Amino acid sequence: MLTAKSLFQEILDHDESFRLFCSIAASGETQGGWENGRIAALVPESQRAMARKIARHGADEEKHGRIFNALLRRRGLQAVAVPAAADYTMLLERRGIGLAHEKLQRDEPLTETDIVAYLAHSRITEERAAAQMGLLQKHFGDHPEVGKAVRMIARDEDNHLAYCHEELLRLSGAGYAEEIRRALREGVQAEIAVHRDVSLAVMERMGHILRWPRAKRALLTAGIHALYAYEQAYGWRRMVSLRMPERRDALGGPAPAAPEFA
């Protein structure tokens, strides 16, 4: 039976598919770490209290990149280049979502509007990340090879999502409610389209590596398109709603070390 668990088990069991999966994950997390680090350095004076939390977010993402690279090393594998069609972070930037790298590379303070754009982008993408890691934790949280890494990253992603909710609600109460609502609505439509395109690209590459039959590829393609249709019609709402999290000040402390993976 074709399930999320059986698909990931196939990927996990084959060195080349596992190599591609970890390479894509490591690249995205490392890129996110750099972006958050730059944002923390450029936070406007009016929002300096956020800098420590943004830096913690970046440190977590960098840690995740090291974890995925460490999983590769344990198998004696090296990372491969991420196909352009599977580069989730860069595809979102090309659609104008979040803060452009060109802006982050300059040593000019960001504006409060930039911070709203950053948090709205993060709220959407962290929803996706938390859901994906939650699914992996459900099925592979006790796996002897990847279980510890999955549990650690899933916990961090839940913290990141909680932080985004709390900070966006704070800014909403400070007069940015309409700007936040607009940024979330625009961002989510771009994200669900990019997620569909990246999913199709990764599925195509995995299918080639694992020699999936045509019928299996067709079924997976149909499933990806069905998910996109659902998210475009209804599912996007869960990615833009805001609620005060049970876990308050989730990024208020230093990032926990992960020496066993670094």
pLDDT over threshold 80, residue 253: no
Reported as a pLDDT band with limits 50, 70 and 90, residue 2 is confident
pLDDT for the residue numbered 96: 87
Instruction: Read off the pLDDT of residues 171-207 as tens digits, 9 standing for 90 and up.
Output: 999 999 999 999 999 999 999 999 999 999 999 999 9
Reported as a pLDDT band with limits 50, 70 and 90, residue 170 is very high
pLDDT for the residue numbered 258: 54
pLDDT over threshold 90, residue 75: yes
pLDDT over threshold 90, residue 255: no
Q: What would the mean pLDDT of 115-139 be, rounded to a whole number?
A: 96
Instruction: Read off the pLDDT of residues 221-246 as tens digits, 9 standing for 90 and up.
Output: 999 999 999 999 999 999 999 999 99
**What's the predicted TM-score (pTM) here?**
0.93
Instruction: Read off the pLDDT of residues 81-122 as tens digits, 9 standing for 90 and up.
Output: 999 999 999 999 999 888 999 999 998 999 999 999 999 999
Quote the radius of gyration of the chain (alpha carbons, Å). Answer: 18
Task: Please state, for a pLDDT cut of 90, what percent of the chain lies above it.
Answer: 92
pLDDT for the residue numbered 167: 97
pLDDT for the residue numbered 256: 61
Instruction: Read off the pLDDT of residues 19-72 as tens digits, 9 standing for 90 and up.
Output: 999 999 999 999 999 999 999 999 999 999 999 999 999 999 999 999 999 999
pLDDT for the residue numbered 224: 97
Tell me the domain boundaries of the chain. Answer: 4-239
User: What count of other Cβ atoms lies within 10 Å of the Cβ of residue 35?
Assistant: 23
pLDDT over threshold 80, residue 254: no
To 5 degrees, how large is the angle CA 174–CA 178–CA 179? 85
pLDDT for the residue numbered 252: 83
Which of the listed CATH numbers 3.40.50.720, 3.30.720.200, 1.20.1260.10, 3.30.70.2860 matches domain 4-239? 1.20.1260.10
**Spatial distance between the Cα atoms of 58 and 63, rounded to a whole number of angstroms:** 9
Reported as a pLDDT band with limits 50, 70 and 90, residue 10 is very high
To 5 degrees, how large is the angle CA 142–CA 220–CA 72? 40
pLDDT for the residue numbered 185: 95
* Sole residue written with tokens 């590829």: 217
Numbers of helices and strands, H then E, in the chain: 9, 0
- Going by C-alpha positions, the residue among 43, 175, 53, 54 that lies closest to residue 111 is 43
- Going by C-alpha positions, the residue among 62, 68, 90 that lies closest to residue 19 is 68
Amino acid letter, 228: Y
pLDDT over threshold 60, residue 262: no
* Crossing angle between the packed helical segments 51-74 and 15-42, to the nearest 10 degrees: 160
* Crossing angle between the packed helical segments 214-233 and 177-210, to the nearest 10 degrees: 180
